[in-house]
Every structure is written in C-alpha cells, then in structure tokens.
Amino acid sequence: MTDWTRRQIGGLVGGALLGVAAPHIARGQGRPRVIVIGGGIGGATVARYLADLKSIDVTLVEPNSTHVTCFFSNLYLAGLRSLASLTFGLETLAERHGITIIRDSAVAIDPAGKGVELQGGPKLSYDRLVVAPGIAFKFGEIGGYDEAAAKIMPHAWIAGPQSELLRRQLKSMDDGGVFVIAAPPNPFRCPPAPYERASLVAYYFKQFKPKSKILILDAKDTFSGQELFQDAWSRHYPGMIEWLPSQFTGAIKAVDVAARSVVTEGETFRAAVANIIPAQKAGLIGEKAGLTDASGWCPVDPVTFESTLQPGIHVVGDSIIGGDMPKSAFSANSQAKACAFAVAASLTGSPHFPPHLFNSCYTFLAPDDAFTNALTFASEGGKIKTVKMFISKVGESAEARRRTAHHAVGWYSAFTADVFGGGS
Amino acid sequence: MQLVRKAATVSRAKGLAAEIRWLLGVSLSAILLFPGNSAAEDGSQGAQIAATCASCHDPAGRGQAIPPIVGMDEQGIVKAMLAFRASESPSLVMHAVALSLTDGELAAMARYLTGKANAGWQP
Ligand SMILES: Cc1cc2nc3c(=O)[nH]c(=O)nc-3n(C[C@H](O)[C@H](O)[C@H](O)COP(=O)(O)OP(=O)(O)OC[C@H]3O[C@@H](n4cnc5c(N)ncnc54)[C@H](O)[C@@H]3O)c2cc1C
C-alpha cells in the first residue's frame, strides 16, 4: 500500500465538508463522472473497464485497502494457499488505469441530487453511479447468532480476518472433534462453496486429524453439485462428512456460543468448531438507498444492470437479483463488463451491443480433483435466463479432474489480473 | 475504409485501443497511427466480446494452464472456436462460450483480437 494512498484525494476530502450548502466536489474537466461503490470483484471490474475507455472519469469508493478473494479461500482453510496469495491491493487500478480511489464507506445516496455521502464527510457528485457492495448477513434469523457470535463461530463468508479465525480454530482443534458447517438457505453467495469447504477441510483432517468428523447442517434439502460432491466424499473421505438436509433436522434454529452448540428443531449438536453461514441479503447500502425490494436484493435491468427502482444507479454482483445467474465472482465480473459498456453508451454515446453473460466456476473436491461448470445467459422478459449449462460428470477420469484443478489455478491468476488491473 | 471519420468515432477508437492495450499488450501508438484500420472500426463490438476472453486468458499471454490467445491469427481463432462449438470434450467453458456467439460475433471478436495484435504486439 505505498503509492495508491497518494491518490486517495486527501486534499479534496479535507476541502469539501458535508452539509446542505457545501459544494459538491467538482467534476473532472467536462468528462462524465462515474462513481463506483465497492472495490470488490464487481466494482473493481466496472471501474477498470470504464476507466480504460478513457472518456470517463472514474472514482472508486472502498473502505478496505486490500481485497481478499473469497474464491480459493477454502484452499487457505485447508492449508493449501496462503492468505497473502489471495490478497490484492487497489493500487494498480489507480496507477495504471487512472482510477481515483477513495478509501471510505458510502453511507447515503441522494438519487435526485446525484450525490454520494461518505462516512469521512464529503459528498461526491456523479453522472452515473454503480453500486457493488456484495452481501450482508441476516443476523437474527438464527437465534443467538450476531456479529459478536461470529467472532467465536465464524462465518468466513467474507474472506479476510474471518477466514483467519476459522483456520486458527481448525488448526487448534483436537483430533476426533466435530466441525459443524451451517449451510445457508437460497439465494446466497457461491452455491457450491459450503460443500467445497467441507471437502477441503476433510482433506486437511484426513492428513492431520483423521478421527475428526464434519457435519453439514443444511437449511436446504438439495444443493448445487450434490452428486459430484457426494461421489467425491465417498471416494476421498469415506465416513468423514455427514450432510443433514433441512427435512431431517428442521434446520438450525439457534446457536449457543458459550456451549459451542448448534440447535435444530429436534436436536442439539456439540461442535468443536462451528462455521455458521447465515442467510444473506444485499450489501447494506443497497437497502439504505432504496435499491432493494422485499426480497432483500436489488432488482436490475438484465441488459444495462440499471436499477429498476432508482434510475441512473446501476447494481452488479452478489447484491442483485440475478435471475438464473448464481452469486459468483465470475458472474459479478461478467455483469460488470456488460454494465460498464452500457454506462459508457449512456454517457458518451459509444455503441452498445447485447451483452454476453457467463458463469464458470471451478470447485475443488481435493487438491487434484476439481469440477467445473459453464453457463451462458440471456435476457428474456426482463429476467436473466440460463441458455446453456454444462457441468463435469460423476465418473470422469482422475486425469480429467487433475486437469480441471490445474485450469482452476490458471483461471485464478488471469481472473484476478482482469479484475484488479494486473497484466500488461 | 471511409476516409472521413467523425471525431467521436476516432476518440471511441482511441478509447478502445487503450482498452485492448492491456488485453493484448499491444503498442498503443501503432493503433493510433491507423485509426481507420478495420480492427479499430469494428473494435467496439469485437472489444465488447473480447472483454469476456480476459476473464480466463491472461492478458499478458503468460497463461500456461489456460493457453494464451495473444498472437493467434484470425483464422486460427475462428477455427478453434468452431471446434469448441462442435464438441464439449476439450473444454466445457469454451464449448459454452462458442455456442453463445453468432458467426458474426465470432468473426468480429477474432478480427478485433488479431487486428490489435498485428498493430504492435510483440511476442
Ligand atoms: C468460500 C467462498 C468461495 C467462493 N468461490 C468462488 C469461486 O470459486 N468462483 C466464483 O466465481 N465465486 C466464488 N465465490 C463468490 C465470490 O467471492 C463473490 O460472488 C464475489 O466476491 C461477489 O463480488 P461482489 O463485487 O458482488 O462483492 P465483493 O467482492 O464482496 O465486494 C463488495 C465490496 O464492496 C465493499 N462495500 C460494501 N459496502 C460498501 C459501502 N457502503 N461503501 C463502499 N464500499 C462498500 C466491500 O468492502 C467489498 O470490498 C466464493 C465465495 C465464498 C464465500
């Protein structure tokens, strides 16, 4: 974090105090100005693609100095990647792509006045706004589980300190303990990821704590990639992972943090380590700004990603109601590109073509056994609909799975360069 | 190639040229010297489609696990994409992508990528 702090417009922040009469920060020399809220996967991609068009002034608002990718964080939990290798600064976006980075949180949006209020004080004005705040948790749906409880029973569903906490707990757990994963109801960030987590932690246990067990208490009765996971669990980790669907348990009702236990309708489970992944909703600024509907997520136009509730404001990534598109980094990146070209078209009259929306995820079952899926989407009747879907099959050769795991590693480095502005 | 171009079109071409510079590692000046070449002209559609490629293919062409697409010729790209369209066996992802592009879009994307590469990309 050396150089990009230089670009955190400290002077401007100091000069423009918040208030009704305070002037908005001046727009850059006649170029249209886009503000992007959230420097995660969706927001960084939008900012980068818009800035590279050179005709638009782009400001990215993000409170954290670095982004730790959720994807591959299950490899970290299993001791297969360092957290540092999953951490990206935003400096390349500033230095190579000319994006102004403001390290702050957006606390309010004024759609009529086209302004964004920051926690640090100033108000920024925009011609178009893109909001990409990721997810927030519906604390309270599981009795006793709140932000304080998450410091003892981590969710590790936003990578960073939460991932480190869970890793520490897994490392210090005695052999023979039960690791409980509470898997959330739909829709949630990255549908296969709770089960990838079970697989990779099982890989870790198999080596270091072979008497340990993993219990998945699910809020659902089926899950993404189920056949592939269950096949892998019986091949790699026989007897180690137990999955209990909601129809058996009535799902999780409460946690008892002091007793380290998880309470379902009929039973209480003692956990050596508990990973509670709560139900989710759009990042909080979405709700505050009137971008969410009753579902808790943000409805958008499937071509431009403009909010259907607040014209002039676009939303991409996990926060949206994505129709058939899963909440994944790949989806967020794909939506962000479509959004960037649509925003550019609306501001500069550049041409706009029907977007191609894709998702492709790599999921690890073991370090050398991964599966993949590939989906294409199109807009239909105002919704994003799946056009084609392909997924790895049970019974593929070990060699094919090894190749997929190898591709996953290649994908990770290319993808993060695309998002955070690496490459040449 | 039209001889007279509107300023807006030229500046758009410059913007897109800049955009693709990172994608392929090409020299920007080579593109700006020839703003009327076919790559820049159809770049807008080609660029928007080619943006998709960068989600998996390293812009610097360093890909090993996922092969680089930098420096492939136009026919080579079209041929490869048609092969991916026909069969899902080498890559599910490329099969899906190839199926979703029309012949016209595929041609625009290939022309765009090679146009940029020819304009100055050095292996
Ligand atoms: C364990 C796990 C594994 C996963 N594996 C994969 C995978 O293999 N492949 C895949 O494609 N996806 C995967 N995902 C999903 C992927 O990480 C998310 O879908 C992706 O990060 C969504 O991008 P986003 O931009 O919507 O949100 P984020 O990347 O979370 O970014 C949101 C950003 O907004 C910022 N923000 C929030 N509020 C404000 C505010 N008010 N002001 C300013 N900034 C704000 C936050 O600080 C954050 O940086 C995985 C997720 C998990 C949890």
- pLDDT value for B113: 86
Centroid of ligand 1 to alpha carbon of A22 (angstroms)? 33
Q: Do B96 and A374 touch (CB under 8 A)?
A: yes
Query: What is the SS3 assignment for A317?
Result: helix
Distances (CA, A) of A330 to A61, A302, A365, B40: 21, 16, 19, 28
- pLDDT value for B119: 60
β-pairing verdict for A178-183 and A313-315:
unpaired
Q: Determine the atom of ligand 1 nearest the C-alpha atom of A104.
A: 43
Centroid of ligand 1 to alpha carbon of B28 (angstroms)? 33
**A8 vs A77: CA distance, rounded Å:** 33
Nearest CA to ligand 1 atom 51: A70
User: Which of B22, B84, B122 is the mutation pick for testing A, counting most A CBs within 10 A?
Assistant: B22
**A44 vs B47: CA distance, rounded Å:** 19
Q: Do B59 and A407 touch (CB under 8 A)?
A: no
- pLDDT value for A233: 98
- pLDDT value for A116: 98
Question: Could you say which of B8, B55, B66 has the minimum Cβ distance to residue A333?
Answer: B55
Residue A255 φ/ψ, nearest 5 degrees = -125, 150
- Please confirm whether the linkage preceding A187 is cis (ω < 30° from 0): yes
- pLDDT value for B62: 76
Task: Count Cβ atoms below 10 Å from residue B53 Cβ, excluding itself.
Answer: 19
B12, closest residue in chain A (CA to CA): A350
**B56 vs B65: CA distance, rounded Å:** 10
B93 and A CB contact within 8 Å:
yes
- Helix (H) / strand (E) containing A107: strand A106-110
A55, closest residue in chain B (CA to CA): B15
Ligand 1 contact, A329 CB (< 6 A) = yes
Q: Determine the atom of ligand 1 nearest the C-alpha atom of A69.
A: 17
**A6 vs A3: CA distance, rounded Å:** 6
Residue in B3, B33, B92 with CA at minimum distance from that of residue A389: B92
Where helices occur in A53-90 by DSSP H, the ranges are 73-77
- pLDDT value for A49: 94
Q: Do A424 and B44 touch (CB under 8 A)?
A: no
**A253 vs A279: CA distance, rounded Å:** 12
**A23 vs A46: CA distance, rounded Å:** 27
Long-range CB pairs of B96-103 (<8 Å, 24+ gap) are B96/A358, B96/A360, B96/A374, B96/A375, B96/A376, B96/A388, B96/A389, B96/A390, B97/A356, B97/A358, B97/A374, B97/A376, B97/B52, B99/A376, B99/A388, B100/A356, B100/A358, B100/A376, B100/A387, B100/A388, B101/A356, B101/B49
Positive or negative: CA dihedral B70, B72, B73, B75: negative
**B15 vs A311: CA distance, rounded Å:** 26
Nearest CA to ligand 1 atom 4: A71
Whether the Cβ atoms of residue A227 and residue A190 lie closer than 8 Å to each other: no
Give one DSSP letter per residue of A147-163, joined into a string: TTGGGTS----SSSHHH
Q: What is the mean pLDDT of chain B?
A: 68
Residues of chain B with pLDDT under 70: 1-43, 59, 117-123
Whole-model pTM: value is 0.89
Q: Do B93 and A406 touch (CB under 8 A)?
A: no
User: Which of A353, A402, A406 is the mutation pick for testing B, counting most B CBs within 10 A?
Assistant: A353
Nearest CA to ligand 1 atom 48: A40
Cα-trace Rg, chain B: 14
Token pair for residue A55? 């005709």
Ligand 1 contact, A60 CB (< 6 A) = no
Tally: H helices and E strands in chain B: 7, 0
- pLDDT value for A266: 87
- pLDDT value for A190: 98
- pLDDT value for A29: 57
Distances (CA, A) of A57 to A105, A128, A208, A391: 19, 11, 52, 40
Give one DSSP letter per residue of A320-368, joined into a string: B--TT--B-HHHHHHHHHHHHHHHHHHHH--------EEEEEEEEEETT
Cα-trace Rg, chain A: 22
Surface of B (24-43) touching A: CB under 8 A: 25
Averages of pLDDT over runs of 10 residues in chain A (424 residues) are 33 29 45 98 97 94 98 98 98 96 98 97 94 97 97 98 98 98 98 99 98 98 98 98 96 96 95 98 98 98 98 98 96 97 93 94 98 97 96 97 97 96 64
Per-residue pLDDT of A58-79, as tens digits, reads: 999 999 999 999 999 999 999 9
